[in-house]
Structures are given as structure tokens and as C-alpha cells.
């Protein structure tokens, strides 16, 4: 059985949990207790020297990046090719948006969440909020061109980005009138059963954590 080491509040981990639901992966979900330092224990560091979540273990294969995990799950367990097309040109578009999530959306969330949770800050600098606002603009532009991030079908790029954006909106609520395509995209994904099961609980945990830190 596949093992997924996760923290429900983590957007990257939630994206992988959504994918496991979507692809009906036979998975054992293992919570990593950061408060108890489980992510720093030698046995965990052997799996992931970066001491982050998620980590996927499938037999001898161990993967410690959520985007790589999504690609792997889609290739190995996904029966519907549309979520991660095998055609090189279509796949490149999905990869492009996965990297957009990794380098733009998620990094701008992490630039706030890490100092918030690990360094004890209680106020978010305006320039970091402005960076999220800019990211919403990029997202809206992409969704103006196609219904979903990499085309007119949902792909693993949407799964990755959706989990991240449900974290971003806790920090800075998006303006639904200014970003109508983003609003429609969020609502569309939110209603999907596999998204609900994999993301909703952890997204609320993240919201409560942020509220507790910002008072």
C-alpha cells in the first residue's frame, strides 16, 4: 500500500490527498506531528532530508515534492489521461502551470506562513500582501484564456493550485468582482467530492491556525 506522510493544514499535502481520492490510490495517510518534531527524526529525514510534507512512499519509490507526487500518481494510478496528458505539447502546458504554482502561488504563501508559524511574526508586511494580489492577477489572466489552468479540462495543475489558493485567501481574501474567473474556478473545484474530501478539513485547520497567530 502507498503511504502518504502529510499534515492536513499543508496545502501541498492536501493537493496530494485530493489526487489520491481522484485516482483511487490505495493509500495509508500518516500524520506528521511537527509540534512533536516528528519531521526532524532520523527515520523521517531518511525519507526527506528537507523535513517537509508531503512525502509519498510507494514500495521502493520515495518522493518528497508535491508536484512530483502529483505527476507520479497521475502516471501510475490515473486511468483518465486528461488529468495529466501524455501528449508532449499538452503535458507541457500542465507542467507550466504546475511550475506557476510552485514558483509563484505557493512561494508567496510560504513567504508568509513560514515566518507566521515558525518565527512568531504577528503582522504581515504590505509588500507580501501586494505579492499575493499580483499573483491573483496572474491567475485571473490564465483563467480568462481557458476554463481551467492548462486548458478546458481539470488537470493536476488545478489540483495543486486550488490547494494553494485556499491558503492564500485566508491571508488575503480575493475580490470576487475583480477576479470573476478565479471566483468561478474556485467554486467549480470546491463542489467536487474528491476535492471536498481531500482539501476541506485541512483548509479550515489552516484558517484557524492563521487566525490564532494573527490574533
Element (H, E) at 193: helix 193-195
Element (H, E) at 29: strand 27-31
10 is a catalytic site residue? yes
Query: Within 10 Å of residue 5's Cβ, how many Cβ atoms?
Result: 24
Of 10, 60, 66, 113, which residue is the catalytic one? 10
CA angle 202, 198, 4 (to 5 degrees): 90
Residues 6+ apart with CB under 8 A from 50: 64
**Maximum CA pair distance of the chain?**
49
Burial of 153 (0-12, 13-18, 19+ CB in 10 A): middle
CA distance 180 to 137: 11
Element (H, E) at 130: helix 126-145
Residues recognised as catalytic: 10
Amino acid at each position: 500500500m502507498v503511504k502518504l506522510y502529510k499534515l492536513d493544514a499543508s496545502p501541498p499535502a492536501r493537493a496530494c490527498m485530493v489526487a489520491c481520492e481522484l485516482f483511487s490510490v490505495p493509500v495509508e495517510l500518516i500524520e506528521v506531528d511537527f509540534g512533536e518534531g516528528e519531521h526532524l527524526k532520523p527515520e523521517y529525514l531518511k525519507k526527506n532530508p528537507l523535513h517537509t510534507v508531503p512525502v509519498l512512499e510507494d514500495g521502493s519509490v520515495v518522493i518528497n515534492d508535491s508536484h512530483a507526487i502529483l505527476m507520479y500518481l497521475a502516471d501510475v494510478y490515473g486511468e483518465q489521461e486528461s488529468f495529466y496528458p501524455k501528449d508532449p505539447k499538452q503535458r507541457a502546458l500542465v507542467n507550466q502551470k504546475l511550475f506557476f504554482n510552485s514558483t509563484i502561488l505557493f512561494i508567496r504563501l510560504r513567504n508568509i506562513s513560514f515566518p507566521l508559524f515558525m518565527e512568531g511574526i504577528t503582522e504581515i508586511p504590505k509588500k507580501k500582501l501586494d505579492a499575493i494580489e499580483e499573483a491573483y492577477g496572474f491567475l485571473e489572466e490564465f483563467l480568462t484564456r481557458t476554463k481551467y489552468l492548462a486548458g478546458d479540462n481539470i488537470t493536476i495543475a488545478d489540483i495543486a493550485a486550488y490547494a494553494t489558493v485556499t491558503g492564500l485567501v485566508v491571508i488575503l481574501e480575493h475580490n470576487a468582482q475583480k477576479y470573476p474567473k478565479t471566483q468561478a474556478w474556485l467554486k467549480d473545484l470546491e463542489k467536487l467530492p474528491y476535492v471536498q474530501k481531500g482539501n476541506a478539513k485541512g483548509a479550515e485547520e489552516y484558517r484557524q491556525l492563521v487566525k490564532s497567530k494573527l490574533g
